[in-house]
Amino acid sequence: MGEELGREVGARASIVPQKARYALVRQATERLARPLSAEDQSLQSMPDASPTKWHRAHTTWFFETFVLEPLGRAEALSPPVYKELFNSYYHGVGPQYPRPRRGLLSRPSELEVMAYRAAVDAAMGRLFDDGLDPRTEALVELGLHHEQQHQELILTDILHLFAQNPMGPRYREGKPPPAREPGPMRFVEHAGGLVVIGQGPDGFAFDHERPRHRVYLEPFALADRLVTWGEYLAFVEDGGYLRPELWLSEGFAWVEANEIAAPLYARQDERGYEVFTLYGWVPVDKHAPVTHLSYFEADAFARWAGARLPTEAEWESAAGEPPVEAVGAELDALAAHDAAPGFYGQVYQWTSSAYGPYPGFRPTPGMASEYNGKFMCNQLVLRGSSAFTPKGHARRAYRNYFPPSARWQLTGIRLAKDVR
């Protein structure tokens, strides 16, 4: 495990020393929590979400459990009950407190969670000073990327929480930047053929992004930009949610059972459509990429538009590498505002690909083997990154995944077509 995972640290370790990156990532989590009251951080708005306080504690539990404890460096860092309270889904580690009930945990307090983070950070500092072997260095790298995933979740979960409040709380003051008029959507043709996707042996990647392998693609075309709010509202106004011929059977049953008539967080009044964001309620910007769509909605829109959703292999073969950005830097936009060319940084894009293992997939060795593989059932792959993704976290091979009805993540649409 040491040699295999040790190679994954690769290029990132050469940019910023791991000890410094650890501090940057941990500080970024605290900055995200800073605008929130202790009450904000304790509430849970739905079973799929978690309180901010829990995210802060769970990411700390990860370093304590997977890095410090095996080295005998976790003694007296936390009460024993934390092992259960902040274990998300690692059955091999021990019992877990039920996910839908995390909002009932008024204790430990936000201040106690802050003290827990400080204690583990101090122990990690001593470990860095003593030196890390390749295996431990790789586990720390996994923990850093894991915490960045939870930074996204802090924002998506607090957005869902605030959207339930008639006061319309704002996470950030001001308003989103206006979107540029994106121009007509054009489809860029790709020859297809035998392509190689997946992460190679160098550089960090989650286990499900490997191994690199070959896929044969028929010729295809991808839209040069994302679908906008204006385009999606044309689908709504054309009765898109009322036309079963546009929908997968399960999707239309979901629409009827839940009385879905617009994207999540969107509502209409006499002035038009508005959408709830981290800036509170704002008028829909018709030039901005549409957000918070389920796979069912994305698939129905694509059919209405005479197109389809791309496969993940098509997406990866066409996407370039994301811009090189500082690891752990502050999030900038917190709102998807630009539908223009570019595969990263606005919304995660639904693909038509079922989430499953690549040929030759091997889970992360050791206690972290439950990280991804056990979720490879009844989920669809999303590609790219969003306005909530920490800088430096996006990768061309990155695979996000959710069930088809999920839409609380910052998700949108890039269309594809067959080339005859």
Q: What is the pLDDT of residues 138-194, one digit of tens each?
A: 999 999 999 999 999 999 999 999 999 999 999 999 988 899 999 999 999 999 999
Dihedral angle, C-alpha 332, 338, 339, 341, nearest 10 °:
-80
Could you give the CA distance from residue 344 to residue 359 in angstroms, rounded to a whole number? 26
Could you give the CA distance from residue 195 to residue 230 in angstroms, rounded to a whole number? 34
66 has a pLDDT exceeding 90: yes
What is the CA 178 to chain-centroid distance, rounded?
A: 24
* 68 phi-psi bin (left φ>0, alpha ψ -120 to 50, beta other): alpha
Phi, psi at 59, each rounded to 5°:
-65, -30
DSSP one-letter string for 15-56: HS-HHHHHHHHHHHHHHHHTTS-HHHHH--SSTT---HHHHH
Could you give the CA distance from residue 68 to residue 22 in angstroms, rounded to a whole number? 14
Confidence of residue 411 (pLDDT cuts 50, 70, 90): very high
413 has a pLDDT exceeding 50: yes
> Which residue type occupies 84?
E
* 391 phi-psi bin (left φ>0, alpha ψ -120 to 50, beta other): beta
According to DSSP, the β-strands at 380-383 and 400-402 are: antiparallel
Could you give the CA distance from residue 240 to residue 270 in angstroms, rounded to a whole number? 21
Where along the chain do its domains lie? 2-163, 187-418
Alpha-helix runs per DSSP H in 294-396: 295-304, 312-318
Q: First-to-last CA distance in the chain? A: 46
Bridge partners (DSSP) of residue 314 are: none
Could you give the CA distance from residue 241 to residue 293 in angstroms, rounded to a whole number? 13
Confidence of residue 15 (pLDDT cuts 50, 70, 90): low
43 has a pLDDT exceeding 70: yes
pTM for the complete prediction? 0.93
Kindly report the average pLDDT of the chain as a whole number.
Answer: 92
Two tokens, residue 190: 């790709």
- Which pLDDT score, from 0 to 100, does residue 2 have? 37
**Class of the CATH domain delimited by 187-418:** alpha beta
Could you give the CA distance from residue 375 to residue 88 in angstroms, rounded to a whole number? 13
Residues in the chain: 420
Confidence of residue 333 (pLDDT cuts 50, 70, 90): low
